């Protein structure tokens, strides 16, 4: 009994002791799951305030029974120091820059080889003498269909084909080195402006002129051997219509069939191509303020027979056609002149009403037929009146 009373007294004393602590409240706590942090997901700042990892986040609750646990979302690799981190919803695809490779520049040696393949010798003879001797000149193919650019003072002999008798004058297109008969040709266009101004020079051994309007276009029509056909395309030099690309000291290639030191028999059998690398010396105009002609100095090409020869740029464009030369004992002391393609184009437009590009984009054979039917007869008469 005494023991029971003692226990009751102890309990009362303990209750009174707890209840007398000021501000203290007894609260029953519920247990919560403990959150464990993964140190690898702790946000760490370096000296430049760049994030090294993602923000810390608690692990998700464990999946319920039977529920599939999704794999964690992919984590982007950490940014490098000094690199700006930009958040975006769309994936950005960075295309590599397009590298445009320039075509390798063709060498003067290669230009020389191609130019020689496009060069022709125009050789005209008569049946039985007459008022003029055999004529030799040069020309250059400027279109794959066999269009030859030469001088009017060379091509004018095509207009005298039936002078006195039928086929009195025969002109042959020769190629290679030495020159060999290869093709026949017909005029596409011979400058009426030049014929009208210079018809009286047809009988002169050394006619003079500035070169203005002195150009002609011929079309290769057939092989001299009836059993052979023409090639599908001809080697050619593309014309440079922009005279702004011609400047003093520009390096250029000249190519022609010079015959100044050869006799008649040698011209027929031993006429070789000559080419030379030189520079543009001076630029000239015929009075309109445009670049019409330019000087190319003296070289082995500065001989009779080089008229109609090619002047080719170092980027493989036909700048002009050789047209005149000064007189001197040595070829090195002579001064060759050429007229520009742009001058030829302007002269052609003045006479016809459209440019050379338009001519070449159309039916060249039809244009040749139209010239020979409508324009050539009047020009022929101008020449015949001087013979």
CA separation for the pair 277, 287 (Å, rounded) = 29
pLDDT in tens, 261-307: 777 788 888 999 999 999 999 999 998 889 999 999 888 887 888 89
Angle at 220 between CA 218 and CA 222, to 5 degrees: 145
Q: What are residue 320's DSSP bridge partners?
A: 311, 340
Locate tokens 């290869």: which residue?
182
Local structure of residue 185 (DSSP, 8 states): E
Closest CA to 79 of 120, 50, 40, 38: 50
- Residue 317 pLDDT class (50, 70, 90 cuts): very high
Statement: residue 15 has pLDDT above 60? no
Residue 82 region by backbone torsions, left for phi larger than 0, else alpha for psi between -120 and 50, else beta: left
pLDDT mean over 132-153? 94
Residue 348, pLDDT score: 98
Percent over 90 (pLDDT), the chain: 57
Task: List all residues 6 or more positions away from 69 whose beta carbon is below 8 Å from its beta carbon.
Answer: 63
State the average pLDDT for the chain: 80
Statement: residue 318 has pLDDT above 80? yes
pLDDT in tens, 146-161: 999 999 999 999 999 9
Domains belonging to the chain, first-starting first, are 108-384 (2.40.10.120)
3-state secondary structure 71-125: CCCCCCCCCCCCCCCCCCCCCCCCCCCCCCCCCCCCCHHHHHHHHHHHEEEEEEE
The tally of CA atoms less than 13 A away on the side-chain side of residue 26 is 5
- Residue 95 pLDDT class (50, 70, 90 cuts): low
Percent over 70 (pLDDT), the chain: 72
Record the tokens describing residue 246, joined without a space. 């011609």
């Amino acid at each position: 009994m005494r023991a029971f009373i003692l226990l009751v007294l102890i309990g009362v004393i303990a209750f009174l002791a707890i209840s007398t602590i000021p501000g203290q409240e007894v609260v029953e706590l519920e247990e919560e799951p403990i959150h464990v942090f993964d140190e690898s997901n702790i946000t760490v700042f370096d000296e430049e305030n760049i994030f090294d990892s993602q923000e810390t986040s608690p692990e998700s609750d464990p999946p319920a029974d039977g529920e599939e646990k999704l794999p964690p979302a992919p984590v982007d690799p950490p940014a490098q120091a000094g690199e700006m981190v930009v958040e975006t919803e769309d994936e950005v695809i960075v295309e590599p820059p397009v590298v445009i490779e320039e075509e390798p520049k063709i060498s003067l040696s290669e230009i020389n080889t191609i130019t020689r393949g496009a060069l022709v010798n125009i050789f005209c003879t008569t049946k039985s003498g007459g008022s003029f001797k055999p004529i030799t000149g040069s020309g250059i193919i400027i279109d794959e269909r066999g269009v030859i650019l030469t001088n009017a003072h060379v091509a004018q002999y095509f207009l005298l084909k039936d002078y006195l008798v039928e086929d009195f004058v025969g002109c042959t297109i020769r190629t290679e080195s030495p020159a060999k008969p290869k093709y026949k040709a017909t005029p596409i266009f011979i400058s009426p402006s030049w014929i009208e101004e210079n018809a009286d020079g047809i009988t002169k051994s050394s006619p003079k002129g500035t070169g203005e309007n002195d150009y002609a276009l011929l079309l290769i029509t057939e092989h001299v051997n009836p059993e052979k056909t023409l090639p599908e395309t001809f080697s050619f030099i593309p014309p440079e219509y922009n005279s702004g690309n011609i400047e003093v000291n520009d390096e250029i290639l000249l190519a022609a069939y010079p015959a100044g030191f050869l006799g008649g028999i040698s011209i027929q059998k031993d006429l070789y191509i000559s080419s030379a690398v030189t520079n543009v010396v001076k630029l000239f105009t015929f009075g309109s303020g445009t670049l019409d002609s330019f000087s190319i100095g003296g070289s082995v090409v500065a001989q009779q027979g080089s008229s109609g020869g090619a002047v080719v740029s170092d980027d493989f464009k036909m700048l002009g056609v050789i047209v005149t030369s000064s007189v001197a004992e040595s070829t090195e002391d002579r001064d060759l002149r050429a007229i520009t393609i742009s001058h030829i184009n302007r002269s052609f437009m003045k006479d016809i009403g459209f440019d050379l590009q338009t001519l070449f984009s159309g039916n060249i054979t039809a244009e040749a037929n139209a010239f020979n039917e409508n324009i050539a007869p009047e020009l022929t008469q101008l020449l015949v009146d001087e013979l």
